[in-house]
Amino acid sequence: MADHLLSWMTFAPVIGAAVIAGLPGRYKDLTKWIAAAATAVPLLLAVQLFLQFDRTTADMQFTEHYTWIKSFNIEYFMGVDGLSVPMVLLTALLSFLCIIASWRIEKAVKGYFSLFLLLEAGMMGVFCALDFFLFYVFWEVMLLPMYFLIGIWGGPRKEYAAIKFFLYTLAGSVLMLLAMIAFYYNVKDPVTGGHTFNMLHMMDQANHGGILDLANVRFVIWMGLFIGFAIKVPVFPFHTWLPDAHVEAPTAVSVILAGVLLKMGTYGLLRISYPMLPDQAVGFMVPMAILGAVNILYGAFCAMAQTDMKKLVAYSSVSHMGYVLLGMSAMNEVGINGAVLQMFNHGTITAMMFLCVGVIYDRAHHRDINGFGGLGLQMPLYTTVFSFALFAAVGLPGLSGFVSEAMVFIGAFPTHRTITVVSALGIVVGAAYVLWMLQRVFLGEKNAKYDSLPEISARELFTLVPIGIIVLVLGVYPMPVLDLMKVSLNHLIKVVAG
């Protein structure tokens, strides 16, 4: 397994999905255990990856390189660097916990778990692929399971949410497809002289030629890629699929959506757009910062207006992804490290929040913020856990969200003074909507209707506590993750901003 670590991480879930698909539908428990095993494999390998990853180099590691389609120079090329490893870790962790969190799924168990495993494979593949074609395939493969997971196991407006998600994402990715083909024909493989999909070759400006020498073409390609990734992040004004999808999706799928899928957008920008079109990235700094600020403030204000807990968390994601954009636009080491750390932290914190919302929804069968009250008396342990997650989201010092947000602001301030100052207001609004929700749900008069709500169960705690520990540890000592990415990101920023 050590030789093909990344392939095993990516395809172990596929094997699991195939086994489950072949299993008769009546073995529901066995199905769940197989799914848990199939996600435990990548998790264990992720631990190995974490331990063995060389933190002193910006080169790709654990690479696997094979010819796939010779006549079109398509390769199976996998590898990770400091940018991808945190995302791989996040994916492995959240996928495993989400399988546990889905234990009470009763409808079409076989379908649910095999689709979930396919989803994990797609996400892993995206973060490991170094061949653009391969990257695109993984990027799209994820859409199918996601569509069905929302559409079959989702809430009342699931059909609308599922197709909206699908159409938005596909519209973005076909633009990426064209950009990819444009790269293919205008980038030369330095060894063979032929066209190539190798991302590392595409990142080397010396290999660019043809229409890639024209500034306006580069701008068009940049915009195509940017829109494709922006839809995924989602950047205002492409964000409208997100509240629908997050709200209608079942809990575990919301966790994956917010925890991992959104990161694919910013990951794409950093893995593809930035190094392949550095001149355009620098030219787009200010618009990117403005979009980041809009995301932060618009998302926060929208969150404040919500009465559905899940929708509130969904809009908080829009807001928090804005910090990532702002950090990326800073074009300095602190900013970009903060941005990627924020990607990781948002993944963990928002996962906690969605899992907590799921806990209460399973019991009360609604998520109306105004429909509760005084839950703190009824479910003290649950209240503690949820408050912990909410405070982490606010950016309370000592918890991980604070570190990355602070880094983003420190990085962005010298580059975009006014925009950063305005964005900082987002913290205040963020505190407002979170505390207001906390107050309405957990404090105040106890609602007699919920006298018999059971406390959070051991299984639910099992999904929340590991993430909570990570949030706490990274809040006090963020170096385990920062060390992973520092060298690669500093190299990236040197390439882009000189």
Partner 1 sequence: MSMDMLQIPDWSDLGGFLPETVMFGAFLLALLGDLIARRRPAVPFAIALTGALTALALAIAGLDTPERTILGDLVVVDGLAAFFRVLFALVAVATMLISWASEEIMGRSRENKGEYYALIALMTGGMMVMAEARDLLMLYLSLELVSLSSYVMAGYMRNSLRATEASLKYVIFGAVSSGVMLYGLSLLYGLTGSLTYVGIRDALAAGAGDPLSLLTVCVLLLAGLGYKIAMVPFHFWAPDVYEGAPTPVAAFFSVGPKAAGFAMMIRFFYTTMQPAIDRVDWRLLIAVLSVATMTYANLVAVRQTNVKRLLAYSSIAHAGYLLMGFLMLTAAGLQAILFYLLVYALMNLGAFLFVIALNNSLKSEHIDDYAGLGFRSPWAAAMMIVFLFSLTGLPPTAGFIGKFYLFAAVMQEGWYWLAIVGVLNSVVSLFYYMKIARTMYFTKAPADAPAVPIAPLHYVMMVLLAAPTLALGLYWGGFKDLADRAIQHFTAI
Residues at the contact surface with partner 1, assessed by CB under 8 A: 68-72, 108, 136-137, 140-141, 143-144, 147-148, 151-152, 158-159, 162-163, 166-167, 170-171, 174-175, 177-178, 181-182, 184-185
Minimum CB distance to partner 1, residue 326 (Å):
30
The CB-of-176 to partner 1 minimum distance in angstroms stands at 10
Residues across the chain = 498
Q: Which is nearer to partner 1, 178 or 495 (CB)?
A: 178
The C-alpha atoms of residue 98 and residue 87 are separated, in whole angstroms, by 16
Closest approach of partner 1 to the CB of residue 244, in Å? 15
CB nearer to partner 1: give 1 or 69.
Answer: 69
In the three-class reduction of DSSP (H, G, I as helix; E, B as strand; rest coil), residue 214 is classed as coil
Cβ pair 164, 245 in contact under 8 A: yes
Question: In angstroms, what is the minimal distance from the CB of 331 to partner 1?
Answer: 30
**360 residue type, one letter:** I
Closer by beta carbon to partner 1, 149 or else 392: 149
Q: How far is the CB of 126 from partner 1 (least distance, A)?
A: 12
Return the number of the residue (64 or 455) whose C-beta is nearest partner 1: 64
Work out how close the CB of 71 gets to partner 1 at its nearest, in angstroms, rounded to a whole number: 6
Rounded distance, CA 304 to CA 293, Å?
17
φ/ψ of residue 63, rounded to 5: -75, 150
Nearer to partner 1 (CB atom), residue 207 or residue 415: 207
Kindly state the smallest distance separating residue 1's Cβ from partner 1, in Å. 22
Is 137 or 497 the residue whose CB approaches partner 1 more closely?
Answer: 137
Q: Are the C-beta atoms of 241 and 215 separated by less than 8 Å? A: no
3 state SS of 98: helix
Residues 6+ apart with CB under 8 A from 348: 90, 259, 400, 467, 470, 471, 474
DSSP reduced 3-state for 421:
helix
Q: How far is the CB of 116 from partner 1 (least distance, A)?
A: 15
- Residue 256 burial class via C-beta count within 10 angstroms: exposed 0-12, middle 13-18, buried 19 and up: buried
Cβ contact 467:97 at 8 Å: yes
Q: Give the residue with the Cβ less far from partner 1, 148 or 354.
A: 148
Question: Among 330, 228, 315, 352, which residue's Cα sits nearest to residue 282?
Answer: 330
Nearer residue to partner 1 within complex by CB, 140 or 333: 140
Max CA separation in the chain (angstroms): 74
Bridge partners, 69 (sequence order): 74
